[in-house]
Amino acid sequence: MSDSLVIARRNVIRMTRIPEMLIFGLIQPIMFVVLFSYVFGGSINVPGAGLSAPGYREFLMAGIFAQTVTFATAGAGAGIADDMHKGLIDRFRSLPMARGAVLTGRTLADLVQTVLTLVVLAVVAVLVGWRTHENFGKVLAGFGLLLLLGYAFSWIGALIGLSVRTPEAATSGGLIWLFPLTFVSNAFVPAANMPAFLETIANWNPFSATVQASRQLFGNLPEDYPVPDAWPMQHPVWASLIWSVLIILVFRTLAVRKYRRADG
Whole-number Å distance between alpha carbons of 27 and 120: 10
How many domains is the chain partitioned into structurally? 1
- CA distances to 133, 207, 259 from 221, in Å: 10, 17, 43
pLDDT band at 262 (very low <50, low <70, confident <90, very high): low
- CA distances to 82, 146, 216 from 208, in Å: 31, 11, 12
Predicted confidence at residue 115, as pLDDT, reads 92
Whole-number Å distance between alpha carbons of 161 and 226: 40
Residues 144-173 have pLDDT tens digits of 999 999 999 999 988 988 888 788 788 778
Name the DSSP letter for residue 36: I
- Range with the lowest mean pLDDT among 6-15, 39-48, 174-183, 206-215? 39-48
User: Is the model more confident about 53 or about 262?
Assistant: 53
Quick one: which of 10, 9, 30, 12 has its CA closest to 21? Answer: 12
Write phi, then psi, for 119 (nearest 5 degrees): -60, -50
The whole-number average pLDDT for the span 75-100 is: 78
Whole-number Å distance between alpha carbons of 42 and 65: 20
Burial of residue 196 (CB within 10 Å: 0-12, 13-18, 19+) is exposed
User: Is the model more confident about 3 or about 88?
Assistant: 3
- Range with the lowest mean pLDDT among 32-36, 39-43, 127-131? 39-43
Quick one: which of 160, 162, 179 has its CA closest to 171? Answer: 160
pLDDT band at 264 (very low <50, low <70, confident <90, very high): very low
Residue-range definition of the domain harbouring residue 85: 2-263
Residue 201: its H or E element: helix 196-203
pTM of the model: 0.89
> In this model, does residue 194 exceed pLDDT 70?
yes
Sign of CA dihedral 155, 156, 160, 166: negative
